[in-house]
Amino acid sequence: METKIKDQKNHNEAANKNIRGQLDNLIKTMSGHYSSDDLELVRLTFDFANDAHQGQLRASGDPYITHSIATALKLAEMNLDITTIIAGLLHDIPEDTSRTLKDLEKNFGPEVAKLVEGITKLGKIKYRGMERYAENLRKMFVAMSNDMRVILIKFADRLHNLKTLDALPVDKRLRIARETLEIYAPIADRLSMWKIKGELEDLSFKYVYPEDYAWIIKMLPQEYEAKEKALGKIKAVVAEQLEQHHIISSEISIQGRTKHLYSLYRKLLRPRINRDLSKVYDLIALRIIVPTVADCYAVLGIIHNLYRPLPGRIKDYIAQPKPNGYQSLHTSIFSDDGEIVEFQIRTDAMHEQAEYGIAAHWNYKENNGKLNAQGIKWLNELVEWQKQIKDNDQFLQTVKFDIFQNRIFVFTPHGDVIDLPEGATPLDFAYHVHSNLGNKCVGAKVNDQLVSLETQIKSGDIVEIITDKNRKNPNPDWLDLVKTSMAKSKIRNALNRNKK
């Protein structure tokens, strides 16, 4: 009996030591970015949460509070505001403890309580197939439009849950992983949060497609090792040249695509590549991060002076950013060994935007949790559309196409970039630019060639809309041609006005 008590005591001491170590890691991560008052508030919040979750264990056997700390840590790594981090520590309390939202409001204020309430509601959204929870999806998008921090906390919560999926029954693992791949990862993508998207996908991949995951894991190390060795030489040469030109780089790193296994898997499935890893040129890329935009272009010149660039593979997303705000210079070159190597060149600010998207420039003191950025224009539009779309099946089609479909980037004749879902037509393009352009449309050119209005446009296309100034209303048949909710909504509005 004494031995059992002693073993339990040792186990408890080890668990408490582990918890304190995780808390220390959270405080260390926050140091330098947050005030001493913020750090003290985190400690006090931890004490509250630890007391509330006392005695609770996760399916993995770990104390429940470890999940709360891991969620807060991820939010701190994204440099989110202190209110969001506090809400991350408290996010499971109303659902899993005897403490209530009123207790949270009393101790931490209404803003924290509101965020936790939003997370609690999202927690009730379970994936049972898209058709069975349209109403829950509606609630999710409304919650996001009210305060985007709710979905950011959900991402952090989900990332840690995915890391401990092995402790759950097989059917529950599959449900959570599939929900992540089909719902949360695409939302992270639309918010330009590629680091989070990549992590969500990779952690889910092995549960949803175990055989394909095993295949990639088996074949990747040899290719990766060979390419990494070749890039090591190129890295040394480029670093020396940057030093000679007095360009200071905060990072010249070899970025392996092994961090994004699911993205690589989907690329390998393309017919052109047909599972041939040698045709994936950006399996490993060299990323160079420099202080200024001028340095970016200087580095590009240095690289092209050293190595022959691949025709058609130089992309300037600094002068012409993607609609979601992504900026970087991309170029692919032939190395001395004949290897094709991709370079990405950007500033620290561009890198932060590329990694964390909408979370990279968050300022709640000004916005109170709302952003008017172009990056979430689609979300506000979706919330408006869903008020008009009463039928759940129709709403789900909207969501599947407008939110979860792959994106393409096409150009106006003046060089402006338009972001559309894959499968969009010239009419979708026209209505995206302006209602009048769509209503007066009589034809379209894609890359200077006349095309039908039902043609599917592709990334990189230059689309020109031919109009008739005397035309005032769209053709009702266009409702069957367009794919996006925006176009359908604008066509219906114009037709209804004409009836009146």
Supply the pLDDT for residue 274: 80
**pLDDT, tens only, 401-432:** 677 677 788 888 887 778 888 889 999 999 98
How many Å apart are CA 140 and CA 148, to the nearest integer? Answer: 10
- Structure-model confidence comparison of residues 348 and 498, the more confident one: 348
- Structure-model confidence comparison of residues 1 and 117, the more confident one: 117
Task: Name residue 276's amino acid.
Answer: D
**pLDDT, tens only, 288-306:** 999 899 999 999 999 999 9
Supply the pLDDT for residue 260: 80
Q: Please check the confidence at residue 491 and state whether its pLDDT lies above 70.
A: yes
Q: Is the CB of residue 498 less than 8 Å from the CB of residue 439?
A: no
Of residues 96, 282, 316, 355, which has the active-site annotation? 96
Mean pLDDT calculated for residue range 96-114: 93
**Which SS3 state, helix, strand or coil, does residue 463 take?**
strand
How many Å apart are CA 369 and CA 148, to the nearest integer? Answer: 6
Q: Is the CB of residue 254 less than 8 Å from the CB of residue 231?
A: yes
Assigned fold of 405-499: Ubiquitin-like (UB roll) (3.10.20)
Supply the pLDDT for residue 450: 94
Tokens representing 402? Answer: 């407008």
- Structure-model confidence comparison of residues 228 and 169, the more confident one: 169
Mean pLDDT calculated for residue range 114-127: 77
Supply the pLDDT for residue 85: 95
Q: CA quadruple 411, 412, 417, 418: dihedral positive or negative?
A: negative
Tokens representing 85? Answer: 């981090």
Tokens representing 277? Answer: 């890893």
Percent of the chain whose predicted confidence (pLDDT) is above 70: 83
Q: How confident is the model at residue 230 (pLDDT cuts 50, 70, 90)?
A: confident
Q: Helix 82-90 vs helix 65-77: angle between axes, to the nearest 10 degrees?
A: 160
Supply the pLDDT for residue 65: 94
Q: Please check the confidence at residue 279 and state whether its pLDDT lies above 80.
A: no
**Which SS3 state, helix, strand or coil, does residue 408 take?**
strand
How many Å apart are CA 363 and CA 367, to the nearest integer? Answer: 6
Supply the pLDDT for residue 367: 47
Q: Cα separations (Å) of 253 from 227, 231, 249, 285?
A: 14, 10, 10, 9
Mean pLDDT calculated for residue range 139-151: 79
Q: Please check the confidence at residue 252 and state whether its pLDDT lies above 80.
A: no
Mean pLDDT calculated for residue range 382-395: 68
Assess whether 95 carries a catalytic annotation.
yes
Of 80, 226, 249, residue with least CA distance to 151 = 80
Mean pLDDT calculated for residue range 367-373: 47
Question: Does the structural domain 221-357 have CATH classification 3.40.50.1860?
Answer: no
Of 158, 162, 125, residue with least CA distance to 141 = 125
Q: How confident is the model at residue 203 (pLDDT cuts 50, 70, 90)?
A: very high
Q: CA quadruple 461, 422, 263, 269: dihedral positive or negative?
A: negative
Q: Please check the confidence at residue 211 and state whether its pLDDT lies above 50.
A: yes
Supply the pLDDT for residue 210: 93
Q: How confident is the model at residue 258 (pLDDT cuts 50, 70, 90)?
A: low
- Cα–chain-centroid distance for residue 190? 6
- Structure-model confidence comparison of residues 12 and 179, the more confident one: 179
Per CATH, 221-357 and 405-499 having the same topology is answered no
Assess whether 47 carries a catalytic annotation.
no
- Structure-model confidence comparison of residues 172 and 146, the more confident one: 172
Mean pLDDT calculated for residue range 192-207: 91
Range in 84-88, 91-95, 341-345, 365-369 the model is least confident about = 365-369
Supply the pLDDT for residue 418: 84
For the whole model, what pTM was predicted? 0.79
Map out the domains of the chain as residue ranges.
17-191, 221-357, 405-499
Tokens representing 431? Answer: 């209505």
Domain formed by 17-191, architecture: Orthogonal Bundle (1.10)
Q: How confident is the model at residue 372 (pLDDT cuts 50, 70, 90)?
A: very low
Of residues 13, 40, 47, 95, which has the active-site annotation? 95
Supply the pLDDT for residue 264: 85
Supply the pLDDT for residue 236: 86
Supply the pLDDT for residue 486: 81
